[in-house]
Amino acid sequence: MKVTPEQFRQAMGHFATGVTIVTTQDDQGQPYGLTVNSLTSVSLKPMLVLVCLDNSLSGLEVFKKSNRFAVNVLSEDQQDLSNHFAQSGTDRSQAVYIPGKTGIPLLEGVLATLECGIVEWYWGGDHAIMLGEVQQVGTAQSDKKPLLFLQGRYARIDTDTD
């Protein structure tokens, strides 16, 4: 019996993920970002993360040419920001960007940032897999909770242990 894409999507929907916006900049210095929930920590030595991007993404070439990216981990009160960067055709240069320590554009007010240099590209089905070496990290001093995605919609966690 063959698994359908819908069955696969439904099964994977039971795996909760964090929500991030991955940013880079074009060769004119214009920032570019998009909402991504396919982030994985790969290794500590060296510190590596991977991000999966759809092969049909109009900005894929911007990431390839830039050869670097940043991961911006969103808090649960940043759902509007996630929605903005998830929409097709949106002006992805319009946000409150701040320069990271490596010069890559970061988003202000996020829970954490990872500034990465791309070390390798892999091709898997309909996605490009960007492997990045973490060069800088930043974390907010905040008690805010992360924005999550579960079963095709945003989700919240309750960390109270009463």
Q: How confident is the model at residue 160 (pLDDT cuts 50, 70, 90)?
A: low
- Considering only 14-18, 30-34, 94-98, 148-152, which range has the smallest mean pLDDT? 94-98
Class of domain 5-144: mainly beta
Question: For the segment 46-84, what is each residue's pLDDT rounded down to a tens digit?
Answer: 999 999 999 998 889 999 999 999 999 999 999 999 999
Q: What is the mean pLDDT of residues 27-34?
A: 92
pLDDT of residue 156: 82
Buried-exposed string 78-98: b where 16+ CB fall within 10 A, e elsewhere = beebbebbeeeeeebeebebe
pTM, two decimal places: 0.92
159 confidence band (pLDDT: 50, 70, 90): low
